[in-house]
Structure 1
Amino acid sequence: MPGYRDRIVASTTQTTAAEPMSQQEFVGAQLRALRAARRLSLGDVARETGISASFLSLVENGRSDITIGRLTRLVDYYGISITELLPAPGGRDPDVVRADETRQLHSPEEGTTIYLLASGTDRTMLPMLLELAPGASLAESGHHAGEEFVHVLAGRLRLEVDGAEPHELDAGDSAYYKSDRPHMFRNASPDEPLRLICIDSPPPI
């Protein structure tokens, strides 16, 4: 997937013992626990990832959102899967993910939502559903080992793959390419939302 540059929704409200933890707070708490378990300072992580210590502190305390690009840097640094930062569903065989159980990474600022269509990334493929608001795009181009397949469900996708002319794909169109080439998704329509299936093999996160 194109670097997975989306944002996780931030929560600026304080929770009480009776209130459930928001996704942003859960992710922040997981990142804080990972850092503490490795006895690292915010400065240590900042130096290795290029993300400022002050920003890391805000994220760990659930007071700021974070792009998927930065989150991927942290995932790579800690050597974990991005799904380990989200509440875990119950294990099942076969791995059936119901519509109301789908975990997601949402970016209201960038107008993008990524739905994880499998419960984990310890497989040979990572299937996702992406929704981009009219005119929206992922924040940065992505590149990762393996191959990527996309299929447009609704709207118009502008697909930019390094070394090739940009392509505009309509509903029903598909594309397959080596994902180590930088690539970018953009909603080519200023009026209509874009929905597409994206499958990465192997999972990059």
Structure 2
Amino acid sequence: MPLEGSVPGAPRPSDVTKPAQVELYRGSNMYFSAIGFINDVKKGPFWEHSPILFDVSGIKDGWGKINKGMIKMFNAEVLSKFPVVQHFPFGSLFSWDLDPEAAAPATSVHVATYGQATTSNVPAAGSGSGTAAPWAQATRMPGRPAGVPPGPGIPYSRAPWAGTGSSGPTMPRGGVPDTGPPPPASFPRGTPGTASNQFSVTKAPWASS
């Protein structure tokens, strides 16, 4: 690729807007092959569906300037954007090398406040050690078998009415103290087929017999 101008015999940059020229060079030129794929999947004027490539086709200084401009655009829009480059499969073909001349990154607020994490203040995996929350106190839960050490958790408390026998009312299913009268065994019913044939406690005011 020349730094200035174009290689002798190379197609002109403006030929990318001509479908016949694209079909002629798409088998041997990667750039024209990409333009041919665009022509296969998109319809309409070239300047309308590919405005940037249309602007590139108007450069009169040759492919050397186009190549340098595209490298700059690739560096700015792809390599310099972390949300894009984080998905690159780095390896033997495309390696990630540290630039010795790159400036050191600025210290973050977290590191400046709490310091850099080291192996001395990071608990080992599976050790179970760490900083406990202020309310995570060891408490003795009711019903714990003998010999089982108390575990961390929120201090346990009992409801005032959660007693048994003579110490307080019993607790039925649902968590509400059983202090009221028992529910009625049956409800009065009216004559079948009339408006009175319903529970008397739910009869509407206008439901007259």
Q: Same fold (TM over 0.5)?
A: no
What is the TM-score when the length of structure 1 is the normalising length? 0.24
- Higher helix residue share: 2
What is the TM-score when the length of structure 2 is the normalising length? 0.23
Which fold has the larger relative contact order, with Cα–Cα distance below 8 Å and residues 6 or more apart in sequence? 1
- Higher strand residue share: 1
